[in-house]
Every structure is written in structure tokens, then in C-alpha cells.
């Protein structure tokens, strides 16, 4: 019975797509076989067309998803983060879905708050506004706490959203399975795996306590990072379906003209955004993985303020240490060392050729070193790296999926703020600091002691020798100061002019492994 219901929901969705002429776009109609043209035409006849001639296919697709409701809007938002799969223009058109949902009635929001928090809105708040923002899963109200007078943002899940998503996800799975069975070309994109990832993401977003916890953790990790701010959580007013946090008076990052009028420099903000993202990913291994313009603001002091922590990314110490080896290999153009690191941690099957893999990595690295940033297309680099993952059968690394996706989005946001922005130069200070700290002898010894630095090479023996030497020097009254180690590592980095490329090439190389789950 559930399968039949899912089928009819798909038919309804097909009618909506036909109405907006995205089931079979006009620009592809002549190339389509007759059965496809007939089916699309028949479905369109059963409904009233709302297509605007001036809209692109992507804009029509976004409008259709909006008509189909929250689950489909979330699907569109998810697709917008995958320009490598759906294409740059379609991904850009789908970004209009970031905050594009009608609000639900105030009465239902108040009822949800009372049920979750055990007290009425009137008891908890002296002021409570109409919805100020509405997205696919929840909406936000501006309020003032009666007990303290603090102005807050109250986020409330949509009524019955869990049931709605569960039902629509069943339809998505049916469509994905049908596509894999009857459209051989779709298997490369692994539609069922794509829906799996969407379902996992939505499940976490449905519990606002998880989002509150993520916000609090990120705030703790970045509390000393100037220029970045996370709203404080009001835990006593937070539950599964309600989240309360500080109200932020700020300008949306998507409005460069308003930022300029307020005295902010969009070019500086673009640089700051890149550096904050890299710091979170590399230093902390915990980063905001949904950093589109709708979730980023700038306050009066020029701080970038992030909201909506439903999707977060993590990199464990082993993967961050692996990143260090990969990045350092790119810095030195030592492609053999990079290849060996991949094999040592089991990302590439041992029956493959290390030399052939090193050669493939060289084909990616050498084409970008020394070229102006404006001439480098991240999309092209990703595409070539994806081809390498298929060629060598790399094992998918789930924790790197969000790294890759966020990297593409953050780069796009930075270039929207400043079209001439040089991603590579923005990365430089973060990379240099990270490499100095990661490559210092003291850091190597600490990591080796915990087993993190063992990549299957002769690291343990080397570290033990280094530790003995350090102990002997200490007994003789001579000590290697951390600053000295840092300077040595810094000079190693500065010997090459390629540091500006290393972070993004290395991260792309790592992220490409993760993307195989969709290919």
C-alpha cells in the first residue's frame, strides 16, 4: 500500500513539474523520443500551465519545488550544494529556495511552544512577533524573554513536518530506485545513495536540541576567533521542536550594497569568511557545513555571524593529520609521498599502482601551480579529481562529504562578495599557521604517542629516535623551543611559492574521495 501511495505522490509531482515545463524542458523537447514528449504533453494538459517565458529551466524548477512543499524545497536546497552534479547555473538558480517558504499560522507556533516548553508564549515572553523568516523545516519569531528582558530568536519546527518528510522521502526512494533500474546513465550519480544522505541530514535537523548543541560547541571552539560570532543558546527555552537563541541585529551577507552602506568592506568579509571556514575545518575538525548567504550575517562591529546549525561537518584527528601529509606533499610537489599516504591509510586499494596514482595526482597539481587564481576553475579541478577516484577505486570517506560541499559553497559566497577575490591568497595565513603547528617536532611526537601519526611508514621508529634525542638535549640543558620549531617549519613552507594553491588542491583531493558516494 505504501508503494502505491508513493507512486501516486510521484504522479502528482510530475504534474507540477509538467505545469512548470521542467518535466521535459522546451529546449530539450525536440531531442526527446516521442513517448517522452507524449507523456509530458499529456500531463501538462491535465493542469494549468504557470510557466513564464522569461524564466530559465532552473528558475522554473525552483518554482515547481516551491509549489510541491517543504520536502521538495529541501531537496532543491540540497541539489543547490552540488554544482558538480546538477551544473553551476542550475545550482545557482536553486539557491533562491534558501528561505522561500510561506510561514505557518501563529496559533500553531504558539501551540508547539506551549507543548514543548510546558508554558504558554504569554507566560514566557513579553513580546512575540509574527514570523520574520520561514524555511523548509522551521520558521523564526522575534521575541523578548519576560524573565530577563533579553531579545531572542525563537525557532519552531513546522507542524507535522516529520510525517511530511517521512512520506515524501518514501517517494524520493521510489523515484531513485526506478531511475537506477530503468535509466542506466543515472547509476553514475547513485540516486539512492543521494537520497540516503538527504534523509540522514533531515533526520538531524528535525531535532532542534542537536542544532542547539552544535551551536554551543562551535561557539566554544571559536570564542577567541576575532570576527566570527555564534548566537548564545537559551537552553531553558530549547526543546526538540523549539530552539531559542540571542537575537542578532545584523545585515545579511547576501546584500553587498547594504554592507557597503553600513561601512563594511565586502572584499575583507570575503577573506574573513574563507579563513574562518578553514580554521574551523583544520584546527577544530568541526565546521558549519551550510554556509550559504541565507545563514550568514554581519553585525555592527563587522563580525560574521552564522545561524542555522542543523548541518555540521567533522574531521577526526586521523583525517586532519592525513590532510597535513597531503598538503605538505603538494607544497613540495612530492606526488609520490601523497600517493603513499593514500595507500598507507587504506583509501586506495593496495593492488593499485602507487606510481600510476602519483602520476594522476601530478596531472591535477601541475596544471594549476603558477597560474593566476582567476584562471583556475574549482569545478574543473573537482571534475578531474572525480575521474581519478573512479580510475583508482578510492574508498568513500563519509566525513569528507560536507567538507567538499561546504568548500564549493563558501568559495561561491566569497566571490559573490568580491568577484576578484583570490581564494588562494586568503588561505595563506591559515595554511601557514596550521603547517607550522602540524610539522613542528613537538606536535609530531605528541601525535605519534597517541598513534595518530602512524600511516604505515617508519614513523614510529623516527619519532622514538626524535624523542630520545629531545630527552638527551633536555638533560644537557639544551631545549628546542616551540618558536624555533615553528620558524623552521615556516621556512620550509616559504621555500615554495605554491602554498596559495596547496590548501584547496589538497582539500579537493580529499573531498573527491567522499563524492564517490554520489557517482
Residue 80 included in any domain = yes
- Residues 448, 514, single domain; the answer is yes
- Residues 476, 349, single domain; the answer is yes
Domain limits for position 105: 101-247
- Residues 115, 140, single domain; the answer is yes
pLDDT for the residue numbered 130: 96
- Residues 506, 393, single domain; the answer is yes
- Residues 130, 190, single domain; the answer is yes
Q: What is the pLDDT of residues 82-123, one digit of tens each?
A: 665 666 677 777 777 765 678 999 999 999 999 999 999 999
| C-alpha span between 394 and 343 (Å, rounded) | 10
What predicted TM-score, i.e. pTM, was given to this entire model? Answer: 0.72
Of 247, 262, 297, which residue sits at a domain end? 247
Give percent of the chain above pLDDT 90.
29
- Residues 513, 419, single domain; the answer is yes
Q: In sequence order, which residues have a C-beta less than 8 Å from that of residue 467 and are 6 or more positions away?
A: 445
Q: Which residue carries 566571490 as its cell?
A: 415
DSSP string, 317-349: HHHHHHHHHHHHHHHHT-HHHHHHHHHHTTSS-
- Residues 83, 177, single domain; the answer is no
Residue 272 included in any domain = no
- Per-residue pLDDT, averaged over 206-225, amounts to 96
Residue 301 included in any domain = no
pLDDT for the residue numbered 258: 94
Q: What is the CATH number of the domain that holds 122?
A: 3.30.200
Look at 334 and 398; give whichever has higher pLDDT.
334
- Residues 151, 215, single domain; the answer is yes
Q: What is the pLDDT of residues 367-395, one digit of tens each?
A: 766 666 556 655 556 556 666 766 787 76
- Phi/psi zone of residue 232: left (φ > 0), alpha (ψ -120 to 50 degrees), beta? beta
Residue 300 included in any domain = no
Report the domain count for the chain. Answer: 3
Of 48, 80, 97, which residue sits at a domain end? 97
Residue 380 included in any domain = yes
Backbone torsions φ then ψ of 154, nearest 5 degrees = -115, 115
Q: What is the pLDDT of residues 218-236, one digit of tens each?
A: 999 999 999 999 999 999 9
Residue 155 included in any domain = yes
- Residues 51, 146, single domain; the answer is no
C-alpha R_g of the chain: 25
Q: Residue 167: is its pLDDT beyond 80?
A: yes
The answer to whether the beta carbons of residues 115 and 240 sit under 8 Å apart is no
Of 230, 247, 264, which residue sits at a domain end? 247
Residue 452 included in any domain = yes
- Residues 122, 210, single domain; the answer is yes
> Average pLDDT, whole number, for the chain?
77
- Residues 446, 363, single domain; the answer is yes
Residue 216 included in any domain = yes
Catalytically annotated residue among 99, 290, 308, 325 = 290
Q: What is the pLDDT of residues 489-514, one digit of tens each?
A: 455 445 444 555 555 555 555 555 55
Q: Find the helix or strand (DSSP H, E) in which 314 lies.
A: strand 312-314
pLDDT for the residue numbered 449: 54
Q: What is the pLDDT of residues 281-304, one digit of tens each?
A: 889 999 998 888 889 999 999 999
- Residues 84, 107, single domain; the answer is no
Q: State how far the alpha carbon of 353 is from the alpha carbons of 21, 130, 225, 340, 356, in Å.
A: 48, 62, 43, 10, 5
Look at 22 and 261; give whichever has higher pLDDT.
261
Look at 35 and 189; give whichever has higher pLDDT.
189
Look at 457 and 196; give whichever has higher pLDDT.
196
Has 84 been annotated as catalytic?
no
Distance of alpha carbon 65 from its chain centroid, rounded? 21
Amino acid at each position: 500500500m505504501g508503494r502505491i501511495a508513493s507512486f501516486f505522490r510521484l504522479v502528482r509531482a510530475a504534474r507540477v513539474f509538467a505545469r512548470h515545463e521542467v518535466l521535459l524542458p522546451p529546449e530539450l523537447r525536440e531531442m526527446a523520443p516521442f513517448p517522452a514528449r507524449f507523456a509530458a504533453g499529456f500531463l501538462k494538459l491535465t493542469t494549468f500551465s504557470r510557466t513564464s517565458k522569461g524564466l530559465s529551466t532552473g528558475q522554473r524548477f525552483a518554482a515547481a519545488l516551491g509549489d510541491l512543499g517543504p520536502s521538495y524545497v529541501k531537496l532543491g536546497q540540497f541539489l543547490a550544494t552540488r554544482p558538480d552534479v546538477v551544473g553551476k547555473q542550475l545550482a545557482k538558480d536553486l539557491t533562491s529556495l534558501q528561505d522561500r517558504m510561506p510561514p505557518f499560522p501563529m496559533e500553531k507556533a504558539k501551540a508547539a511552544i506551549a507543548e514543548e516548553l510546558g508554558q504558554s508564549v504569554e507566560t514566557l515572553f513579553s513580546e512575540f512577533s509574527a514570523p520574520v523568516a520561514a524555511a523548509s523545516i522551521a520558521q523564526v519569531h522575534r521575541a523578548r524573554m519576560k524573565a530577563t528582558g533579553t531579545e531572542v530568536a525563537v525557532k519552531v519546527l513546522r507542524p507535522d513536518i516529520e510525517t511530511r518528510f517521512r512520506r515524501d522521502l518514501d517517494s524520493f526512494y521510489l523515484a531513485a530506485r526506478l531511475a537506477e533500474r530503468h535509466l542506466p546513465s543515472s547509476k553514475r550519480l547513485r540516486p539512492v545513495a543521494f537520497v540516503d544522505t538527504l534523509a540522514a541530514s533531515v533526520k538531524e535537523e528535525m531535532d532542534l536540541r542537536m542544532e542547539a548543541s552544535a551551536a554551543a560547541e562551535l561557539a566554544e571552539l571559536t570564542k577567541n576567533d576575532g570576527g566570527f560570532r555564534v548566537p548564545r543558546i537559551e537552553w531553558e527555552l530549547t526543546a526538540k521542536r523549539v530552539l531559542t537563541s540571542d537575537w542578532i541585529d545584523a545585515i545579511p551577507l547576501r546584500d553587498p550594497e547594504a554592507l557597503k552602506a553600513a561601512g563594511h568592506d565586502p572584499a575583507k568579509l570575503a577573506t574573513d569568511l574563507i579563513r574562518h571556514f578553514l580554521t574551523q575545518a583544520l584546527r577544530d575538525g568541526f565546521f558549519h557545513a551550510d554556509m550559504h548567504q541565507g545563514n550568514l550575517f554581519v553585525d555592527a562591529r563587522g563580525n560574521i555571524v552564522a545561524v542555522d546549525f542543523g548541518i555540521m561537518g567533522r574531521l577526526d584527528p586521523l583525517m586532519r593529520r592525513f590532510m597535513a601529509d597531503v598538503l605538505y606533499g603538494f607544497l613540495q610537489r612530492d606526488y609520490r609521498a601523497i600517493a603513499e599516504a593514500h595507500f598507507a591509510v587504506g583509501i586506495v586499494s593496495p593492488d593499485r599502482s602507487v606510481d600510476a596514482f602519483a602520476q594522476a595526482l601530478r596531472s591535477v597539481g601541475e596544471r594549476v601551480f603558477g597560474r593566476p587564481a582567476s584562471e583556475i576553475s574549482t569545478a574543473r579541478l573537482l571534475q578531474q579529481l572525480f575521474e581519478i577516484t573512479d580510475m583508482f577505486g578510492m574508498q568513500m570517506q563519509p566525513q569528507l562529504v560536507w567538507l567538499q560541499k561546504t568548500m564549493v559553497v563558501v568559495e561561491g559566497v566569497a566571490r559573490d562578495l568580491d568577484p576578484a577575490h583570490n581564494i588562494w591568497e586568503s588561505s595563506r595565513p591559515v595554511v601557514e599557521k596550521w603547517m607550522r603547528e602540524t610539522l613542528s617536532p613537538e606536535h609530531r611526537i605528541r601525535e605519534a604517542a597517541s598513534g595518530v601519526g602512524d600511516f604505515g611508514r617508519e614513523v614510529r621508529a623516527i619519532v622514538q629516535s626524535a624523542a630520545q634525542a629531545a630527552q638527551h638535549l633536555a638533560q644537557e640543558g639544551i631545549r628546542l623551543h616551540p618558536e624555533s620549531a615553528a620558524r623552521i617549519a615556516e621556512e620550509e613552507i616559504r621555500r615554495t611559492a605554491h602554498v596559495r594553491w596547496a590548501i584547496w588542491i589538497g582539500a579537493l583531493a580529499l573531498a573527491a574521495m567522499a563524492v564517490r558516494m554520489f557517482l
